[in-house]
Structure 1
Amino acid sequence: MLDRRSILKMAAGSAMLALVPSAQLQAKTSGKRLAMVFDVRRCTGCLSCTVSCSVENQTEAGRCRTRVTQATVEQENGFAALSVPNQCNNCVNPACVDICPVEATFKREEDGIVVIDHEQCIHCQQCVDACPYGARRKDDTFNNPPEKCNFCIHRVTAGLLPACVETCIGEARTFGDLNDPQSKISQLVKDNKVYSMLAEAGTNPNIFYIGLPEQADDQEILKLNFLDWQR
Protein backbone atom coordinates (compact mmCIF):
# COMPACT_ATOMS: atom_id res chain seq x y z
CA MET A 1 0.00 0.00 0.00
CA LEU A 2 1.27 3.45 -0.85
CA ASP A 3 2.17 5.76 1.98
CA ARG A 4 -0.04 8.78 1.24
CA ARG A 5 2.29 11.08 3.15
CA SER A 6 4.95 10.44 0.54
CA ILE A 7 2.80 11.05 -2.54
CA LEU A 8 3.43 14.20 -4.51
CA LYS A 9 0.26 15.03 -6.42
CA MET A 10 0.65 16.94 -9.66
CA ALA A 11 -2.48 18.93 -8.84
CA ALA A 12 -3.49 22.12 -10.57
CA GLY A 13 -2.63 25.19 -8.56
CA SER A 14 0.38 23.69 -6.80
CA ALA A 15 3.56 25.76 -6.50
CA MET A 16 5.54 24.84 -9.57
CA LEU A 17 9.29 24.55 -9.66
CA ALA A 18 11.19 27.56 -10.97
CA LEU A 19 12.81 27.14 -14.36
CA VAL A 20 16.22 28.82 -14.23
CA PRO A 21 16.85 30.91 -17.37
CA SER A 22 19.85 29.78 -19.39
CA ALA A 23 21.21 33.33 -19.45
CA GLN A 24 21.28 33.38 -15.65
CA LEU A 25 23.17 30.09 -15.48
CA GLN A 26 25.72 31.21 -18.04
CA ALA A 27 26.20 34.74 -16.66
CA LYS A 28 29.82 35.22 -15.67
CA THR A 29 30.79 36.21 -12.13
CA SER A 30 34.14 36.96 -10.53
CA GLY A 31 36.19 33.95 -9.49
CA LYS A 32 34.81 30.44 -9.78
CA ARG A 33 31.10 29.68 -9.53
CA LEU A 34 30.96 26.19 -8.10
CA ALA A 35 27.61 24.45 -8.38
CA MET A 36 26.04 21.00 -8.46
CA VAL A 37 23.32 19.55 -10.68
CA PHE A 38 21.15 16.59 -9.68
CA ASP A 39 19.63 14.64 -12.58
CA VAL A 40 16.83 12.80 -10.78
CA ARG A 41 16.23 10.66 -13.88
CA ARG A 42 19.56 8.98 -13.18
CA CYS A 43 19.30 8.72 -9.39
CA THR A 44 18.72 5.10 -8.33
CA GLY A 45 18.22 5.87 -4.65
CA CYS A 46 21.18 3.65 -3.73
CA LEU A 47 22.37 6.09 -1.03
CA SER A 48 26.05 5.64 -1.93
CA CYS A 49 26.27 9.45 -1.80
CA THR A 50 25.08 9.64 1.81
CA VAL A 51 27.39 6.84 2.90
CA SER A 52 30.49 8.26 1.18
CA CYS A 53 29.70 11.74 2.51
CA SER A 54 29.40 10.48 6.09
CA VAL A 55 32.65 8.53 5.82
CA GLU A 56 34.54 11.36 4.12
CA ASN A 57 33.39 14.03 6.56
CA GLN A 58 33.14 11.85 9.68
CA THR A 59 29.67 13.14 10.57
CA GLU A 60 28.08 12.06 13.83
CA ALA A 61 25.35 9.45 13.98
CA GLY A 62 21.97 11.03 13.30
CA ARG A 63 23.44 14.01 11.45
CA CYS A 64 24.46 14.15 7.83
CA ARG A 65 25.35 16.59 5.08
CA THR A 66 23.38 15.12 2.20
CA ARG A 67 20.13 13.16 2.05
CA VAL A 68 18.05 11.46 -0.59
CA THR A 69 14.29 11.39 -0.17
CA GLN A 70 12.01 9.20 -2.22
CA ALA A 71 8.39 9.86 -3.07
CA THR A 72 5.64 8.28 -5.09
CA VAL A 73 4.56 10.70 -7.79
CA GLU A 74 0.94 10.53 -8.92
CA GLN A 75 0.62 11.08 -12.64
CA GLU A 76 -2.13 10.74 -15.23
CA ASN A 77 -1.32 7.15 -16.08
CA GLY A 78 -0.39 5.88 -12.62
CA PHE A 79 2.45 6.28 -10.18
CA ALA A 80 6.22 6.70 -10.51
CA ALA A 81 9.06 6.65 -7.98
CA LEU A 82 11.12 9.79 -7.58
CA SER A 83 14.43 10.06 -5.71
CA VAL A 84 15.44 13.62 -4.81
CA PRO A 85 18.81 14.58 -3.24
CA ASN A 86 18.82 17.46 -0.79
CA GLN A 87 21.73 19.32 0.79
CA CYS A 88 23.10 22.81 1.39
CA ASN A 89 22.55 24.89 -1.73
CA ASN A 90 25.65 27.08 -1.15
CA CYS A 91 23.43 29.99 -2.12
CA VAL A 92 24.52 33.25 -3.70
CA ASN A 93 22.46 35.06 -1.03
CA PRO A 94 22.59 32.62 1.90
CA ALA A 95 20.15 33.31 4.75
CA CYS A 96 22.46 31.43 7.13
CA VAL A 97 25.22 34.00 6.63
CA ASP A 98 22.92 36.90 7.41
CA ILE A 99 21.59 35.33 10.63
CA CYS A 100 24.92 34.25 12.16
CA PRO A 101 25.62 36.53 15.16
CA VAL A 102 29.39 35.95 15.14
CA GLU A 103 30.05 35.67 11.38
CA ALA A 104 31.10 32.05 11.78
CA THR A 105 29.25 31.20 8.58
CA PHE A 106 30.59 33.00 5.54
CA LYS A 107 30.76 32.77 1.77
CA ARG A 108 34.13 32.36 0.09
CA GLU A 109 34.71 35.02 -2.53
CA GLU A 110 36.95 32.85 -4.69
CA ASP A 111 34.42 30.10 -5.41
CA GLY A 112 31.10 30.84 -3.65
CA ILE A 113 31.23 27.95 -1.17
CA VAL A 114 29.40 28.68 2.09
CA VAL A 115 31.61 27.63 5.01
CA ILE A 116 31.27 27.21 8.77
CA ASP A 117 34.27 28.25 10.85
CA HIS A 118 33.97 25.60 13.56
CA GLU A 119 36.31 27.49 15.86
CA GLN A 120 34.27 30.69 15.62
CA CYS A 121 30.83 29.04 15.78
CA ILE A 122 29.02 29.42 19.13
CA HIS A 123 26.60 26.54 18.40
CA CYS A 124 23.48 28.72 18.68
CA GLN A 125 21.90 26.80 15.76
CA GLN A 126 20.12 29.94 14.49
CA CYS A 127 21.30 29.15 10.97
CA VAL A 128 19.42 25.85 11.08
CA ASP A 129 16.09 27.67 11.43
CA ALA A 130 17.08 30.35 8.90
CA CYS A 131 17.79 27.90 6.06
CA PRO A 132 14.63 27.62 3.92
CA TYR A 133 15.83 24.29 2.50
CA GLY A 134 16.21 22.51 5.84
CA ALA A 135 19.73 21.68 4.73
CA ARG A 136 21.52 22.31 8.05
CA ARG A 137 21.50 19.46 10.57
CA LYS A 138 21.41 20.78 14.10
CA ASP A 139 23.07 19.36 17.20
CA ASP A 140 20.24 18.99 19.71
CA THR A 141 22.75 19.19 22.56
CA PHE A 142 24.01 22.59 21.30
CA ASN A 143 27.56 21.32 21.90
CA ASN A 144 28.65 21.27 18.25
CA PRO A 145 28.23 23.35 15.09
CA PRO A 146 25.49 22.30 12.69
CA GLU A 147 26.38 20.01 9.81
CA LYS A 148 26.12 21.24 6.24
CA CYS A 149 27.51 20.39 2.84
CA ASN A 150 30.49 22.51 1.77
CA PHE A 151 31.06 20.61 -1.48
CA CYS A 152 33.82 18.63 0.32
CA ILE A 153 35.91 21.79 0.36
CA HIS A 154 39.08 19.90 1.36
CA ARG A 155 38.76 17.65 -1.69
CA VAL A 156 37.85 20.47 -4.09
CA THR A 157 40.85 22.50 -2.89
CA ALA A 158 43.02 19.51 -3.76
CA GLY A 159 41.52 19.27 -7.25
CA LEU A 160 39.21 16.34 -6.46
CA LEU A 161 35.46 15.94 -6.82
CA PRO A 162 33.13 15.94 -3.80
CA ALA A 163 32.82 12.43 -2.37
CA CYS A 164 29.13 12.15 -3.27
CA VAL A 165 29.84 12.94 -6.93
CA GLU A 166 32.76 10.54 -7.17
CA THR A 167 30.76 7.61 -5.76
CA CYS A 168 27.42 8.20 -7.54
CA ILE A 169 26.90 4.98 -9.51
CA GLY A 170 24.20 6.48 -11.71
CA GLU A 171 26.23 9.62 -12.49
CA ALA A 172 23.23 11.61 -11.29
CA ARG A 173 25.43 14.28 -9.70
CA THR A 174 27.53 16.73 -11.68
CA PHE A 175 29.82 19.27 -10.03
CA GLY A 176 31.92 22.02 -11.47
CA ASP A 177 32.47 25.67 -12.34
CA LEU A 178 29.59 27.36 -14.15
CA ASN A 179 32.01 30.13 -15.13
CA ASP A 180 33.96 27.63 -17.25
CA PRO A 181 32.05 27.19 -20.53
CA GLN A 182 34.01 24.00 -21.24
CA SER A 183 33.10 22.31 -17.97
CA LYS A 184 30.73 19.34 -17.91
CA ILE A 185 28.28 21.19 -15.68
CA SER A 186 28.14 24.17 -18.06
CA GLN A 187 27.35 21.91 -20.99
CA LEU A 188 24.71 20.10 -18.92
CA VAL A 189 22.78 23.23 -17.94
CA LYS A 190 23.08 24.53 -21.49
CA ASP A 191 21.45 21.42 -22.99
CA ASN A 192 18.68 20.79 -20.43
CA LYS A 193 15.79 22.42 -18.62
CA VAL A 194 17.19 23.27 -15.20
CA TYR A 195 15.14 23.98 -12.08
CA SER A 196 15.86 25.34 -8.62
CA MET A 197 13.97 25.07 -5.35
CA LEU A 198 12.21 27.96 -3.57
CA ALA A 199 12.95 30.73 -6.04
CA GLU A 200 10.70 33.01 -4.02
CA ALA A 201 13.12 32.82 -1.06
CA GLY A 202 15.58 35.01 -2.95
CA THR A 203 18.59 32.90 -1.97
CA ASN A 204 19.69 32.17 -5.57
CA PRO A 205 20.83 28.58 -4.89
CA ASN A 206 23.76 26.81 -6.57
CA ILE A 207 22.06 23.42 -6.46
CA PHE A 208 20.02 22.68 -9.57
CA TYR A 209 17.73 19.85 -10.70
CA ILE A 210 17.07 18.15 -14.01
CA GLY A 211 14.17 15.76 -14.57
CA LEU A 212 11.77 16.83 -11.82
CA PRO A 213 8.08 17.02 -12.81
CA GLU A 214 7.38 20.64 -13.73
CA GLN A 215 4.15 20.68 -11.72
CA ALA A 216 5.78 19.36 -8.55
CA ASP A 217 5.48 21.50 -5.42
CA ASP A 218 9.03 22.29 -4.26
CA GLN A 219 7.92 22.95 -0.69
CA GLU A 220 6.29 19.54 -0.49
CA ILE A 221 9.43 17.90 -1.89
CA LEU A 222 11.57 19.55 0.79
CA LYS A 223 9.16 18.43 3.51
CA LEU A 224 9.59 14.75 2.66
CA ASN A 225 11.05 12.58 5.41
CA PHE A 226 14.16 10.84 4.13
CA LEU A 227 13.24 7.84 6.33
CA ASP A 228 9.91 7.31 4.53
CA TRP A 229 10.98 5.26 1.54
CA GLN A 230 8.80 3.62 -1.07
CA ARG A 231 10.33 0.50 -2.55
Structure 2
Amino acid sequence: MTQYAIATDVNRCVGCLACSVACKVVNNVPVGSFWNKTLRITNPTSEGATWPEVDNYYLTVSCQHCENPECVKVCPTGASHKAADGTVQIDKSKCIGCQFCAMSCPYGVRYLNEAEGVVEKCTLCQQKAAQGELPQCVSQCGGMARWFGDAEGDIRAFKGARGETLGDFCEEFADADVHRLPDVGNGPTGLFILRRMKWQGGDA
Protein backbone atom coordinates (compact mmCIF):
# COMPACT_ATOMS: atom_id res chain seq x y z
CA MET A 1 0.00 0.00 0.00
CA THR A 2 1.16 3.53 -0.76
CA GLN A 3 0.87 6.51 1.59
CA TYR A 4 2.40 9.62 0.06
CA ALA A 5 3.48 12.20 2.61
CA ILE A 6 5.70 15.21 3.24
CA ALA A 7 8.64 14.99 5.64
CA THR A 8 9.98 18.30 6.93
CA ASP A 9 13.46 18.67 8.39
CA VAL A 10 12.45 21.34 10.88
CA ASN A 11 16.08 22.17 11.73
CA ARG A 12 16.63 23.21 8.10
CA CYS A 13 13.47 25.33 7.71
CA VAL A 14 14.23 29.08 7.80
CA GLY A 15 10.62 30.25 7.61
CA CYS A 16 11.05 31.88 4.20
CA LEU A 17 7.43 31.00 3.20
CA ALA A 18 8.53 29.86 -0.28
CA CYS A 19 6.47 26.68 0.20
CA SER A 20 3.33 28.68 1.03
CA VAL A 21 3.79 31.12 -1.85
CA ALA A 22 4.64 28.41 -4.41
CA CYS A 23 1.59 26.43 -3.32
CA LYS A 24 -0.73 29.42 -3.70
CA VAL A 25 0.59 30.22 -7.18
CA VAL A 26 0.50 26.73 -8.70
CA ASN A 27 -2.90 25.87 -7.20
CA ASN A 28 -4.53 29.29 -7.65
CA VAL A 29 -5.39 29.50 -3.96
CA PRO A 30 -7.59 32.55 -3.23
CA VAL A 31 -6.25 35.59 -1.37
CA GLY A 32 -6.63 35.08 2.38
CA SER A 33 -6.57 31.29 2.16
CA PHE A 34 -3.63 28.89 2.41
CA TRP A 35 -3.08 25.20 1.71
CA ASN A 36 0.21 25.37 3.62
CA LYS A 37 0.75 27.56 6.68
CA THR A 38 4.05 28.30 8.45
CA LEU A 39 3.96 28.70 12.24
CA ARG A 40 6.78 30.01 14.44
CA ILE A 41 7.36 28.00 17.62
CA THR A 42 9.31 29.56 20.51
CA ASN A 43 10.44 27.59 23.59
CA PRO A 44 12.58 28.59 26.59
CA THR A 45 15.90 26.76 26.46
CA SER A 46 15.50 25.70 30.09
CA GLU A 47 12.95 25.82 32.89
CA GLY A 48 12.26 29.44 33.85
CA ALA A 49 14.42 30.87 31.06
CA THR A 50 13.28 34.14 29.42
CA TRP A 51 14.14 36.00 26.23
CA PRO A 52 16.69 35.80 24.67
CA GLU A 53 17.33 32.31 26.10
CA VAL A 54 14.87 30.66 23.73
CA ASP A 55 14.81 28.24 20.81
CA ASN A 56 12.86 29.13 17.67
CA TYR A 57 11.78 26.86 14.86
CA TYR A 58 9.21 26.92 12.07
CA LEU A 59 6.45 24.37 11.64
CA THR A 60 4.75 24.05 8.25
CA VAL A 61 1.19 22.77 8.59
CA SER A 62 -1.03 21.51 5.77
CA CYS A 63 -3.40 18.60 5.20
CA GLN A 64 -1.87 15.56 6.89
CA HIS A 65 -3.46 13.08 4.43
CA CYS A 66 -4.47 10.96 7.39
CA GLU A 67 -4.66 7.18 7.41
CA ASN A 68 -8.16 7.32 8.90
CA PRO A 69 -9.38 10.83 8.00
CA GLU A 70 -12.31 12.23 9.94
CA CYS A 71 -13.13 14.54 7.02
CA VAL A 72 -13.90 11.51 4.85
CA LYS A 73 -16.16 9.97 7.51
CA VAL A 74 -18.36 13.06 7.85
CA CYS A 75 -18.66 13.93 4.14
CA PRO A 76 -22.33 13.31 3.16
CA THR A 77 -21.67 13.04 -0.58
CA GLY A 78 -18.40 11.12 -0.83
CA ALA A 79 -16.61 14.19 -2.19
CA SER A 80 -13.81 13.77 0.37
CA HIS A 81 -12.14 10.42 -0.18
CA LYS A 82 -8.90 8.49 0.15
CA ALA A 83 -7.11 7.98 -3.16
CA ALA A 84 -5.05 4.94 -4.13
CA ASP A 85 -1.83 6.84 -3.37
CA GLY A 86 -2.93 7.36 0.24
CA THR A 87 -3.73 11.05 -0.16
CA VAL A 88 -7.04 12.61 0.83
CA GLN A 89 -8.72 14.32 -2.11
CA ILE A 90 -11.89 16.31 -2.79
CA ASP A 91 -14.09 15.64 -5.82
CA LYS A 92 -15.39 19.13 -6.49
CA SER A 93 -18.20 17.79 -8.66
CA LYS A 94 -19.65 16.10 -5.56
CA CYS A 95 -18.84 18.79 -2.97
CA ILE A 96 -21.90 20.76 -1.78
CA GLY A 97 -19.91 23.17 0.39
CA CYS A 98 -21.49 22.02 3.67
CA GLN A 99 -18.10 22.35 5.43
CA PHE A 100 -18.64 19.33 7.70
CA CYS A 101 -15.15 18.23 6.67
CA ALA A 102 -13.62 21.59 7.59
CA MET A 103 -15.27 21.47 11.00
CA SER A 104 -14.05 17.92 11.65
CA CYS A 105 -10.41 18.52 10.62
CA PRO A 106 -8.24 18.64 13.77
CA TYR A 107 -5.65 20.81 12.00
CA GLY A 108 -7.88 23.54 10.54
CA VAL A 109 -6.43 23.17 7.04
CA ARG A 110 -9.63 23.18 4.96
CA TYR A 111 -11.61 26.24 3.85
CA LEU A 112 -14.63 27.09 1.73
CA ASN A 113 -13.84 28.62 -1.66
CA GLU A 114 -16.81 30.98 -1.64
CA ALA A 115 -16.52 31.81 -5.33
CA GLU A 116 -16.86 28.14 -6.31
CA GLY A 117 -18.94 26.96 -3.35
CA VAL A 118 -16.62 24.04 -2.65
CA VAL A 119 -14.12 23.11 0.06
CA GLU A 120 -10.42 23.11 -0.85
CA LYS A 121 -7.14 22.03 0.75
CA CYS A 122 -3.68 20.64 -0.03
CA THR A 123 -3.79 17.83 -2.60
CA LEU A 124 -0.06 17.01 -2.28
CA CYS A 125 0.00 18.18 -5.89
CA GLN A 126 -1.57 14.89 -6.96
CA GLN A 127 -1.42 15.97 -10.61
CA LYS A 128 2.37 16.26 -10.32
CA ALA A 129 2.96 13.17 -8.16
CA ALA A 130 1.05 11.05 -10.68
CA GLN A 131 3.69 12.00 -13.25
CA GLY A 132 6.63 11.29 -10.95
CA GLU A 133 7.16 14.93 -10.02
CA LEU A 134 7.49 16.51 -6.59
CA PRO A 135 4.81 18.65 -4.92
CA GLN A 136 5.43 22.34 -5.59
CA CYS A 137 6.22 23.08 -1.94
CA VAL A 138 9.01 20.49 -2.04
CA SER A 139 10.50 21.52 -5.39
CA GLN A 140 10.57 25.19 -4.35
CA CYS A 141 12.08 24.71 -0.87
CA GLY A 142 15.36 26.61 -1.03
CA GLY A 143 16.43 25.38 2.40
CA MET A 144 16.03 21.73 1.36
CA ALA A 145 13.79 21.24 4.37
CA ARG A 146 10.85 19.55 2.62
CA TRP A 147 10.94 16.00 1.26
CA PHE A 148 8.39 13.77 -0.46
CA GLY A 149 7.90 10.01 -0.40
CA ASP A 150 5.97 6.98 0.75
CA ALA A 151 5.40 6.97 4.51
CA GLU A 152 4.94 3.20 4.34
CA GLY A 153 8.63 2.93 3.49
CA ASP A 154 11.88 4.46 4.81
CA ILE A 155 11.72 8.19 5.52
CA ARG A 156 15.39 8.40 4.54
CA ALA A 157 14.37 7.50 0.97
CA PHE A 158 12.16 10.60 0.59
CA LYS A 159 13.20 12.80 -2.36
CA GLY A 160 14.09 16.49 -2.28
CA ALA A 161 14.20 19.40 -4.72
CA ARG A 162 17.57 18.51 -6.26
CA GLY A 163 17.03 14.77 -6.52
CA GLU A 164 18.89 13.73 -3.37
CA THR A 165 17.34 11.53 -0.72
CA LEU A 166 16.73 12.82 2.77
CA GLY A 167 19.05 10.19 4.25
CA ASP A 168 21.96 11.12 1.99
CA PHE A 169 21.57 14.89 2.29
CA CYS A 170 20.36 15.79 5.77
CA GLU A 171 22.01 15.60 9.16
CA GLU A 172 21.53 12.21 10.81
CA PHE A 173 18.57 11.82 13.14
CA ALA A 174 17.20 9.20 15.52
CA ASP A 175 13.71 7.71 15.54
CA ALA A 176 12.99 9.85 18.61
CA ASP A 177 13.63 12.96 16.47
CA VAL A 178 10.73 12.11 14.12
CA HIS A 179 7.35 13.56 15.14
CA ARG A 180 3.79 13.90 13.89
CA LEU A 181 0.99 16.34 14.65
CA PRO A 182 -1.46 15.28 17.39
CA ASP A 183 -3.27 12.04 16.59
CA VAL A 184 -6.93 12.00 17.66
CA GLY A 185 -7.59 8.67 16.01
CA ASN A 186 -7.11 9.97 12.48
CA GLY A 187 -3.51 8.85 11.95
CA PRO A 188 -1.71 11.92 10.51
CA THR A 189 1.03 10.93 8.05
CA GLY A 190 3.08 14.13 7.84
CA LEU A 191 6.54 13.70 9.37
CA PHE A 192 8.62 16.34 11.15
CA ILE A 193 12.28 15.87 12.07
CA LEU A 194 13.49 18.02 14.97
CA ARG A 195 16.85 17.56 16.69
CA ARG A 196 18.14 19.12 19.93
CA MET A 197 14.98 21.17 20.58
CA LYS A 198 11.71 20.48 22.36
CA TRP A 199 8.92 19.35 20.03
CA GLN A 200 5.78 21.44 20.60
CA GLY A 201 3.70 20.23 17.65
CA GLY A 202 1.96 17.42 19.48
CA ASP A 203 2.62 13.75 20.15
CA ALA A 204 5.45 11.90 18.41
- Shorter-chain TM-score category? 0.7 to 0.9
Residue 99 in 1 paired to residue 77 in 2?
no
- Judged with a 3 Å threshold, the aligned counterparts in structure 2 of structure 1 residues 85 and 116 are, in CA distance, closer, same or farther, namely same
The 2-side partners of 1:217 and 1:167 are apart by 24
What secondary structure is seen at the aligned counterpart in 2 of 1:83? strand
CA RMSD of aligned residues (A): 2.5
| Unaligned stretches of 5+ residues in structure 1 | 1-29, 220-231
Aligned to 1:62: 32
CA–CA distance in 2 between the matches of 1:154 and 1:53?
13
Matching residue of 1:198: 182
Q: Which runs of 4+ in 1 moved over 6 A?
A: none
User: Could you report, residue by residue, the CA deviation over 1:93-117 in whole angstroms, capped at 9, with x for unpaired residues?
Assistant: 0000001011100001x21010000
SS at match of 2:24: helix
The normalised TM-score by structure 1 is 0.73
- Aligned runs of 1:102-113 on 2, under 5 Å? 102-108=77-83, 110-113=84-87
Which residue does the alignment assign to 1:165?
138
Residues 184-212 of structure 1 show CA distances to partners (whole Å, capped at 9, x for unaligned) of 23975x9532111112x011111011117
- Between stretches 67-76 and 96-105, larger displacement belongs to 67-76
Per-residue Cα deviation, 1:136-169 (whole angstroms, up to 9, x for no partner):
1234x48522221111001101110000000001
**Corresponding position: 1:144 with 2:152:** no
Residue pair 1:181, 1:187 contacting (<8 A) in 2 also? no
Give the C-alpha shift of residue 180 in structure 1.
Answer: 4.6
Report the Cα distance in structure 2 between the residues aligned to 1:161 and 1:215, rounded to whole angstroms.
27
Q: What is residue 87 of structure 1 aligned with on the other side?
A: 62
Aligned to 1:154, the other structure's residue is in SS state: helix
Larger relative contact order, structure 1 or 2 (CA cutoff 8 Å, min sep 6)? 1
Q: Which moved more, 1:209-218 or 1:168-177?
A: 209-218
* TM-score for the superposition, normalised by structure 2: 0.82
Q: Could you report, residue by residue, the CA deviation over 1:41-64 in whole angstroms, capped at 9, with x for unpaired residues? A: 100000000111011101111112
Aligned length: 186
Match of 1:154 among 102, 116, 127: 127
Does 2:106 align with 1:132? yes
2:93 matched residue in structure 1:
119
Do residues 39 (structure 1) and 15 (structure 2) align?
Answer: no
Displacement of 1:72 after TM fit? 2.4
Q: Quick check: 1:35–1:175 contact (8 Å CA) kept in 2?
A: yes
SS of the equivalent of 2:38 reads strand
CA distance in 1, matches of 2:32, 2:65: 22
SS class of match (1:171): coil
- The one-letter amino acid paired with 2:15 is G
- Cα offset, 1:218, TM superposition: 2.7
* Identical positions, percent: 32
Question: Counterpart of 2:137 in 1: which secondary structure?
Answer: helix
CA distance in structure 2 between the partners assigned to 1:171 and 1:151 by the alignment: 17
- Contact 1:73/1:81 (CA < 8 Å) preserved in 2? yes
Matches of 1:147 and 1:176 in 2, distance apart? Answer: 23
Deviation at 1:178, TM superposition (A): 3.2
